[in-house]
A and B are shown apart, each in its own frame.
Chain A
Amino acid sequence: DAGVIQSPRHEVTEMGQEVTLRCKPISGHDYLFWYRQTMMRGLELLIYFNNNVPIDDSGMPEDRFSAKMPNASFSTLKIQPSEPRDSAVYFCASSLGRLDSTDTQYFGPGTRLTVL
C-alpha cells in the first residue's frame, strides 16, 4: 500500500483565495483525520470521519474551514477565504479505528500551506 497520500505537498496562496487540500487514506481504513500543526499551537485535530461521516468537527477553527469525504478513498479540506494565520502544515491520517486493533494512525506527508 502506498500509505496515506496528500496533495499538494506545498501550497502558497494569497490572502482571500480558496485553498483545497486533498487526502487519499489507506484502503480499508474506516477513520480519516485532519490535523493542523504549527509551532505555536502544536498538533491540533480539526475534524475526523468514520465511514465517510463526520464525527467530530469541534476542532475546525471557524466557518471558513470545511471538510468533506464523498467516498471511502477521498477527502478534502477547504479554506475559503484563506488568511495568513491559516499558514501551517496540514496532515491527514487514517486508521482502522477498532480499539482492539489499537487505533494506530497512519499519517500522510502533510501539506505545507503558506498564505501571504
Chain B
Amino acid sequence: SQQGEEDPQALSIQEGENATMNCSYKTSINNLQWYRQNSGRGLVHLILIRSNEREKHSGRLRVTLDTSKKSSSLLITASRAADTASYFCATAAYNQGGKLIFGQGTELSVKP
C-alpha cells in the first residue's frame, strides 16, 4: 500500500500567499523528503527532514515532521507563479532497502 498520502490533491492560491501541503505515512521512517515536479519534467529534490528533527527551513520552504502522528507538512511562503508544480513527499526507512515510497502528490497552482 502507498506509504505517503498527501492532501490536498490540488491547491490554487494567489501569488504572495502561503501554500501548505500535508503528507501522512504509515510506518516508521528514517527520513522524509519533499520533491517538486514541474509539468513535463522529472522530480527535483527540495528538502529532507530526518526522523529526529521536527522542523527544517530552506529559503521559502519550511518542513515540519510529527513522528507521533506520522505526518509532515510543507509550507511555501510568499508563493510565486514559478512555484506552480506538483509536490510529492517520499519516505525512506531502513527496511526499504534503499528505495523511497512516494505519495500521490499535491498539484499547486499559483496565480499571478
Interface residues of A (CB under 8 A from B): 4, 31, 33, 42-43, 45, 48, 50, 55-56, 91, 93, 95, 97, 99, 102-110
Interface residues of B (CB under 8 A from A): 30-31, 33, 40-45, 48, 50, 88, 90, 92, 94, 97-100, 102, 104-105
Cβ contact within 8 Å between A106 and B45:
yes
Q: How far is the CA of A102 from the CA of B91 in the complex (A)?
A: 10
Known A43-B105, A110-B42: A102·B48 in contact at CB below 8 Å:
yes
Chain A binding site: helix, strand, loop or mixed by DSSP? Answer: strand
Residues of A within 8 A of B88 (CB): 43
**Lowest 6 A-B CB distances belong to which pairs?**
A107-B42, A97-B98, A103-B92, A107-B43, A42-B104, A104-B45
Cβ contact within 8 Å between B42 and A91:
yes
Cβ contact within 8 Å between A99 and B94:
yes
- Which listed residue (B31, B40, B99, B105) contacts A45, Cβ 8 A? B99
Residues of A within 8 A of B105 (CB): 42-43
Cβ contact within 8 Å between A109 and B42:
yes
Residues of A within 8 A of B50 (CB): 102
Taking A42-B102, A99-B31, A102-B50 as known contacts, 20 extra A-B pairs with beta carbons closer than 8 A to each other, sorted by chain A number, are A4-B42, A31-B99, A33-B99, A42-B105, A45-B99, A48-B99, A50-B98, A55-B98, A93-B42, A99-B94, A102-B33, A102-B48, A103-B31, A103-B100, A104-B33, A105-B43, A105-B45, A107-B44, A110-B40, A110-B42
